[in-house]
Amino acid sequence: MRRPAPATVRRLILVLILVLWELVPRTGLLAELFLPSLSKTLTVLIQNFDEYGEALLVTLYEVALAMTIACGGGILVGALVGGLAVLRNLLLPVFSSLYAVPIVILYPIFTAWFGIGSESKIAFAGVYGFFPVMLSTAAGIQTIDQSFLVAARSMGASLPQQITRVVIPASIPTVLSGLRLGGALAIIGVVVSEMLTSAAGIGYLVSRYRTVLDSPRVFAAILMILVLSVLFDALARWVERRTLVWQTAGRRDRTSAQGETIAGAPAPA
């Protein structure tokens, strides 16, 4: 028998988890308090769609602004720090150490400064997502193969042209991976801060229903966040694939390309 494709196995695992989610509570292996069944969770979600929809909109609004701050600020500062040796030596060690600090301990300060509304979530999650974007942008610019720049200079490229035609395309792969991580952290930052202190958003629903032990409603909120994160990741991957077509082009149809070479003239050395 042929070994099944990895994609098929992945789908099967997902289906298995969903089936277990339904069966384990139903058979009474786990009490509903610990794990409400999938169908019950979905029913609660649909019945309370107004409440959850409204919370989702709040969360999405906060996530969108936090991502803008994280990505925009991260790319801007990262480009400056990666591009200018003075700033790099001055700031990079500081930023790298800050990245290791659990920034969530600063959240109380954010609420003190910005209140418990959306502003504190946006600011906190923006800062949370800023670091990976900024660090990977700086790394992407710093680690550009110098021979690319020498070659561009030999072809008469001016400094602005070296930046737009070489530095930017060469650093896009690292920047994109930073954006994916930074975006994911922005989602985490928003949800966590909503869970800590707030009056709106999905994170707020999770913590509010947890305190009253309403498990189906807690899981409904968790399910929404899961779907949100997975969708974001899929979107980020899709953008990466579309942008970095030059890294993978031809990999998939290598065999057909070889066939063409054999049929035609022999390939040059």
Partner 1 sequence: MQHLANVSELRGAKAHAAAIEVAGLSHVYAGREGQVPALEDIALTVGAGRFVVIVGPSGCGKTSLLMMMAGLRNQTSGTILCAGRPIDAPDPDRVGVVFQEASLFPWLTALDNIEFPLSIRHAPREERRRRANAMLELVGLQGFGGRYPHELSGGMKQRVSIARGLVQDPPVLLMDEPFAALDEQTRMTMGHELLRIWSQTAKTVVFVTHSLTEAVYLADEVLVMSARPGRIIDRVDITLPRPRTYEMMATDVFGRLRERIWQQIRKAT
Selected from 134, 166, 186, 221, the binder of partner 1 by CB under 8 A is: 166
Residue 172: CB minimum distance to partner 1, A: 8
The answer to whether 218 and 209 are in contact (CB under 8 A) is: yes
Q: Which is nearer to partner 1, 194 or 240 (CB)?
A: 240
28 binds partner 1 (CB under 8 A): no
Q: Which is nearer to partner 1, 85 or 106 (CB)?
A: 85
Stretch 207-246: interaction string toward partner 1, x if CB under 8 A? ---------------------------------------x
Residue 136: CB minimum distance to partner 1, A: 18
155 binds partner 1 (CB under 8 A): yes
Selected from 145, 226, 235, 237, the binder of partner 1 by CB under 8 A is: 145
256 binds partner 1 (CB under 8 A): no
Backbone angles phi, psi at 112, to 5 degrees: -65, -40
CA distance 144 to 157: 16
88 binds partner 1 (CB under 8 A): no
Tokens of 130: 């800023």
Selected from 27, 97, 147, 255, the binder of partner 1 by CB under 8 A is: 147
- Using a CB cutoff of 8 Å and minimum separation of 24, what contacts does 255-263 make? none
Binding site for partner 1 (CB under 8 A): 145, 147-148, 150-158, 161, 165-166, 169-170, 172, 246-247, 249-250, 257, 264, 267-269
